[in-house]
Amino acid sequence: MPKQSPLQHPEAFAQALGAWFAANAKDYPWRRTTDPYAILVSEMMLQQTQIPTVLGKGYYTRWMERFPDVRTLAKAEEAEVLRTWEGLGYYRRARFLQQMARTVMERHGGVFPKTLEEIHALPGVGRYTAGAVMSFAHDQAAPIVDGNVARVLARLCNDATPVDSTEGQTKLWERAELLVKASPSARTHNSALMELGQTVCRVSSPTCGQCPVQKYCLAEEPTSLPVKGARASATEVTERVFFHRTEEGVLLQQETGARRTGLWKLPALPECEKLPGVLHKSRYTITRYRVTLWVHEAPVEKKRPALEESASVRVISHDDLPDLPMPSPYRRALNALLGDNAFQLEA
C-alpha cells in the first residue's frame, strides 16, 4: 500500500498524532500549567538541555519556588538568579530570563505579552520559544521546530536537505506551520510532535513499528535522516588560575566579559617567568573546546599585580562560597582544594 504524505493529509495526520498523544502523554510540571511565565522558564531551561537534566536535579521546581512570577524574578539579586541556574550551563539563559522579567515589568506593565511578535521580542526568546509559549500557554496555532521536530519532519518527508541550512530551516518551519494549523489543538499537536521524536522517532534505533503516523512516513532509511552539516573539531585550550587562601577566605574573580558574565572563578594566573607549583589539574570539554585547567599556588606577592584593587577580584569568605554562582569546573576544583585532599596533586 502506497505511503501518504503528511503534507497532503494534514488533518488526518494531526488526528492520528493527537490520538496517540492522548494515550501516551508524559506528565511534566510545565504541562500542568498555562501560565506563560512558567512555560517560558521551562523552555529556556530546555534550550539545548535534556529533560532529565532539568527535571532530575530539581532545577525547574527550585526556580519556580524561588522566582514564582515575573515580578519576583525582576527584583531578585542577579547572584541568586545565577546560583539557582548553576550546573545547567549556558548561563546567558539565566541572565536573559531576568532581563525578560524586567522587560515585562517595564514595557508591559507587569502583564506577560500575549502576541507572538511581542513574545518573540523578549530577551533570549527566539522563534522556537515564542511558538512554544503561544501554543502551550495560549493554545494558539504557532509552529515550533526544535531538534525533535526537525528529525520527525525530515523523516516523514524523506527530505535530505540539511536541517541546519537556511533552505532546510525554511522547509521545516513551513511544514510545521501547515501541520499545526490543521490540528484541533496546537498545544496537543506541538507537544505530541516533540514527544514522538523523543520516544519513537529517536535518533538511533527508532521504533517505527510503534509509530502512530507510520502510514504517513516517506522515510526509506530513517536513521540516515536528518542530514546535518559537519561541525568544527575540538580545540585544545590551557587555562591557568591560582588558589590563594587567607584567614578571611579565598581570592576569587568575577567574570565580566562575553562569557559566563557574572559568574565567579579562581583568578587567572598573571604572566610569570616561572610557573608556581601545581595544586590541582583537571580536564573538561566545553562546547568545542577541550580544556586543561591548572590550579597553581599563588604567585609571590611582589610580582603579583594589585589584584585586590581590581573591582572584579575579591576575597570570599567560606560562608559565602556556596552562594556564589560558579561554573562547574571551578566549583569542582575548589571543592577538591578545600576538601580533605587539598594541596594534593591528582595523579
Judged by beta carbon, residue 221 or residue 273, the one nearer DNA is 221
User: Could you tell me the smallest distance in angstroms from the CB atom of residue 332 to DNA?
Assistant: 9
# residues contacting DNA (CB under 7 A): 67
| Peptide bond preceding 226 in cis form (omega within 30 of 0) | yes
User: Could you tell me the smallest distance in angstroms from the CB atom of residue 301 to DNA?
Assistant: 27
How far CA 346 is from CA of 44, 110, 251, 333, 337, in Å, comes to 37, 52, 22, 11, 11
User: Could you tell me the smallest distance in angstroms from the CB atom of residue 115 to DNA?
Assistant: 16
Beta pairing class for 289-297 and 313-316: unpaired
Judged by beta carbon, residue 208 or residue 300, the one nearer DNA is 208
Residues 297-326, one symbol each (x = binds DNA by CB under 7 A, - = not), give ------------------------------
User: Could you tell me the smallest distance in angstroms from the CB atom of residue 196 to DNA?
Assistant: 10
**43, 65, 167, 273: the active-site residue:** 43
43 is catalytic: yes
CB 111 within 8 A of CB 169: no
Cβ neighbors of 4 (< 8 A, separation 6 or more) are 12, 215, 216
Reduce the DSSP state of residue 233 to 3 states and report it.
coil
Residues 109-128 touching DNA, rule: CB under 7 A, are 123-128
Residues lying near DNA in the complex (CB under 7 A) are found at 28, 30-31, 42-43, 46-53, 57, 87-92, 96, 123-130, 132, 146-148, 151, 165-166, 191, 194-195, 197-198, 203-204, 228-229, 231-234, 237, 239, 258-261, 263, 284-291, 327-329
Q: Which residues are catalytic?
A: 43
